[in-house]
Chains A and B, each alone.
Chain A
Amino acid sequence: MITLSIFCITAFIDSTQIYNHSYENLIFEGDIDMNTTCFLILDNETIFKGRGFGAPAPTVDELLRDGGRASGEVVFNTGMSGYPEIVTDPSYLGQLVVMTYPHIGNYGVEKKWSESGVGNENSERVAGLEGLIVRSLYCGAVPKGRLSLDNFLNKNNIPGISEIDTRALTLKLRDEGSSNGVIIRSEKEEEGLSEDEKLKVVSFINNFPSMEGRNLVSKTGTMERQEINKTGSPHFTVLDCGIKTSIIRNLVSRGCRVTVVPSATTSEEILMMESDGVLISNGPGDPAALTDIISQIKNILGKIPLTGICLGHQLICLALGAETSKMKFGHHGINHPVYDEKTGRVFITSQNHGFTVKERSLSEGMEVWLKNSNDSSIEGIRHNNLPVLTTQFHPEAAPGPHDSLWIFDEFIKFSRAASHKEEI
Chain B
Amino acid sequence: MLDNVVDLSRLQFAVTALYHFLFVPLTIGMVWMLVIMESVWLMTGKQVYQDMTRFWGKLFGINFALGVTTGITMEFQFGTNWAYYSHYVGDIFGTPLAIEGLMAFFLESTMIGLFFFGWERLSRKQHLLVTILMAIGTNLSALWILIANGWMQNPVGAEFSYQTMRMEMTDFAALLLNPDAQAKFVHTVSAGYVTGAMFVLSISSWYLLRGRNVEFARKSFRIAAAFGFASICSVIVLGDESGYTVGEAQQTKLAAIEAMWHTEPAPASFNLLAWPNETRMENDWQLSIPWVMGLIGTRSLSKEIPGIHEIMAQNRLRIQSGMLAVQALETVRRERGNSAALAVLEQHKKDLGFGLLLKKYTADVAHATPQMIAAAARDTIPRVAPMFWSFRLMVGMGMAMLLLFGWAFWASLKGNFQHRPRLLKLALWCLPLPWLSCELGWVVAEYGRQPWTIYGVLPTRLSVSTLSVESLYGSLAGFVGFYTVLLVVEMMLMVRFARQGPGSLGTGRYDHETAH
Instruction: Please indicate whether A and B come from the same complex rather than being unrelated chains.
Output: no
Q: Which residues of A contact B (CB under 8 A)?
A: none
Where the two chains meet, the residues of B that have a C-beta atom closer than 8 Å to any C-beta of A are none
